[in-house]
Structure 1
Amino acid sequence: MSDNNLPPVPQGASPLPPVPPVPPAPSAPVPPVPPVQSYPGVPQFQPQPPQFTQPQPQFTQAQPPQFQPQPGARKSRKGLIVGISIAAAVLILGGGGLAVAGASISSSVAPDAQVKEFLQDLVDGRAEAALEVMGEKPSGLLTDEAYNASANHITDFTVGKAKTTGDTSIVTAKITQGGTSYTQEFELAKAGKTFVVFDTWQLQSLPLGVVDVQVQGPAGLAVQVDGNAIDVADGSSLRAFPGDYEVSVVDDSDLFDAEPATANVVGLSDDAAGSVATAAVTTTLTEAGTAAARSAVDAYVDGCVAQQSLAPTGCGFGARAQDGVSYSNIRWTLTVRPTYSVGDWAGNGWSVTTETAGTLDVVADSVDGAGRSGQSGTTLSNYRPVGTVSVVDGALTFSSSVLPF
């Protein structure tokens, strides 16, 4: 039969196993003692080094386990709460940052921002950048070179709030150009989205102002605007940003001079007051050109007088034949030469008018129906050539505007 009783505890023995001794705590490094400052007449105290005693092992009676909340668990929960609070704060701050960033993006792509960018480019002399905002490419006077060579640009502006309806937005700006202020309306169309949620807008092309180039002079003259060559082969109306544009022509002739003309473009729309500006370059004959013009008229008259016809071709004068009479050996004589006045360009040449009239005599051999022969003649006492002189192959030529006889 087995014995289930525990063996008796020997005398003097503890009912529990002995607690192992606690190892002594490592000694903390002793900080250096600062030097003591001496004061005269005051007793001095010497610092004593700290005394350390070797901790003695303590033996305590083991207690049955107690079920009580542990301080460590409470501390951990507090740490968790603090951590959650910090995380929430980070989320709040992050959300605020996103809101600020979102507002910044939205503002940068807003309709009024596009208008501000466009106008600031013009103030700063960046014509091609302004065109890019409108989605256009440089051409004609719409280049940095042509724009910066002109004068009297936009100097200031104020942009109002956009009025948006559906996919269209209207922005009105007040613009200052030199001593003039005016309002300009801009239309923008919705172009898409950026960052998924923010609408983007495209500034619609403006009609812009127009420099209407008119050269009052011979055909084929090279045109310059503010010293820059401009091709006007496709038309004389050139779109332009607000400004003053000086139009001139290039010629190497000593027969005439060309006076430059300035087109003052005010506004960004072709229906604005002053936005369609005409630059009429006027050419005038020089002293040498005026003399050449008179010589050209004389040559014309002499050519007419040399024709052996009662009605010289293209000359505007003549003598009428009598019925039943035939004429031969017709001879014109300029007994008094007319004098001329040469004026301004008149459509296709410089105008020529007669100051003093000339006199023409004509004689011819004649035979009537009865076979009688003799000499016939008459006098034209108020001969007045009228027309224009123009440059042909580098020389001046006269063209009569008088109806044929």
Structure 2
Amino acid sequence: MTDQHEPDGWGAVPTVDAISGTRDAPLEGTAPAPRPRRRLGRRGLVGLVAGGAVIVLLAVTGVVGYSIGTAEHSADRPVRAFLDDLTAGRVDDAVEAAGIERDKGDVLLTDAAYAKATGRVTGYRIAATRDDGDTATVTAYLKQDGRDVSSTFTLDKTGTEWGVFPVWKLQAPALGSVDVRVQGPSGAKVTVGGQAVTTSKDGTAELTALPGTYAVALDGGKWFAADASTATVSGFGDEVSTPVSMTTKLTAAGEQSAKAAVDAWVNGCIASTEASPKGCSFYAYGEDPAYTYTNQKWTLDTRPAVSVGGWVSSGWLVTTTTFGRATFTADISGPGGVGTATAGPMNVNASGYITGFTDQGATFRSAIGNGSSDTGT
């Protein structure tokens, strides 16, 4: 059979099968012809490059993810969150996040109270972080009233996240306090940072406070007053403000009421029908038991003059500048008949203390005589 294309001259051309069939062995002493290398197509090359890129990308992503995770779980993160809330005035959030315990007496640990303070924390920078395994310490510099105030925070490791990153919990930082001492009666009304408080029996008030400067003022009503002051708490760590000592002085109305209380005390002593009035600075003695005394009375010849000074441990000091004079008389009857007994005139000393005020006025306590704890209003 002949190829139908023989007349064209292509009949002797080997078929494709003949060309791709078994090759003859090379001539002896001749090296085999090198097998041509197969070139990668563009698609194959792109596939390899893409595969390598994926591996590199996964590695880079892992490193970046680990770095981000480490940063987000750093021990300083809870400290930053706490200080961010504080600088923004979110006291309630800051106190809750830090686990700071407070009760109804902590009137300065509120958003409203802190908003009225000056010299608050307006910024911060983290200076150092130390990780000791289960605990960590963070040192920060607080920007307060134009100064850098160092404060140290402690954190506890409470576990891990994804079994890799530590979880830190901020220990409640030690808070400072505003310490106020009123040289005046116990139970005095004071405002600290706009918040009303009452002093204790020893005339003091101590309030837990965040870093800042707080205005301190005394509310003595119309009876007494004191110069306003301020108290500053710097940073954290049991910082106690320089104690604010408020020395009270009587107003004109207070001094007038004080002298009226002294007069009332004198009047009460003069009104007594006893030879030795209880709680008074004068008395008569030498009564004869053989006689009966009736119609006993005191007569005030002259009233004592007094001055009211500053506060001492027992009250505002009352000093007698001029003694008063009083006389005692009584009708007597006995073996010798009837008559009148007289004692005096004798000094009336009105020295003592104004211990406080009520709505009705001052309370006076005598420092002389046989009843120094008695009062007169």
Per the shorter chain, which TM-score range? Answer: 0.7 to 0.9
Contact 1:360 1:381 in 2 (8 A): yes
- C-alpha change, 1:381 and 1:229, in structure 2 (3 Å) is closer
**Among 289, 301, 305, the residue aligned to 2:254:** 289
Contact 1:247 1:281 in 2 (8 A): no
**Among 147, 156, 172, the residue aligned to 1:189:** 156
State the 1:102 CA deviation: 2.1
User: What's 1:88 paired with?
Assistant: 52
Q: How does 1:6-405 map to 2 (within 5 A)?
A: 9=1, 13-14=2-3, 61-63=14-16, 64=18, 65-66=20-21, 74-75=39-40, 80=44, 83-136=47-100, 139-155=106-122, 157-178=124-145, 181-215=148-182, 223-229=190-196, 236-250=205-219, 253-257=221-225, 259-270=227-238, 272=239, 275-322=240-287, 324=289, 326=291, 327-346=293-312, 349-366=315-332, 371=336, 373-374=338-339, 375-381=341-347, 383-404=349-370
Deviations 1:343-370 (A, max 9, x none): 33446753322222222222233457x5
State the 1:292 CA deviation: 1.9
State the 1:296 CA deviation: 1.6
What is the letter of the counterpart of residue 282 of structure 2?
F
Distance, in Å, in 1 between the alignment partners of 2:194 and 2:179 is 17
State the 1:75 CA deviation: 2.5
What is the letter of the counterpart of residue 296 of structure 1?
A
State the 1:281 CA deviation: 4.9
Q: Percent identity?
A: 34
Deviations 1:7-40 (A, max 9, x none): xx4xxx32xx879xxxxxxxxxxxxxxxxxxxxx
What is the letter of the counterpart of residue 317 of structure 2?
S
Larger deviation, residues 322-331 vs 333-342: 322-331
Q: List alignment gaps of at least 5 residues for structure 2.
A: 24-33, 372-377
Q: TM-score when scaled to structure 2? A: 0.77
Distance, in Å, in 2 between the alignment partners of 1:205 and 1:87 is 51
Q: Which has the higher strand share?
A: 2
State the 1:268 CA deviation: 1.2
Distance, in Å, in 1 between the alignment partners of 2:245 and 2:138 is 35
Contact 1:223 1:250 in 2 (8 A): yes
State the 1:85 CA deviation: 4.1
User: What's 2:26 paired with?
Assistant: none
Q: TM-score when scaled to structure 1? A: 0.72
State the 1:74 CA deviation: 4.7
Q: List alignment gaps of at least 5 residues for structure 1.
A: 1-8, 20-57
Contact 1:208 1:239 in 2 (8 A): yes
User: What's 1:5 paired with?
Assistant: none
What is the letter of the counterpart of residue 294 of structure 1?
K
Distance, in Å, in 2 between the alignment partners of 1:67 and 1:311 is 152
Distance, in Å, in 2 between the alignment partners of 1:229 and 1:84 is 77
State the 1:206 CA deviation: 1.9
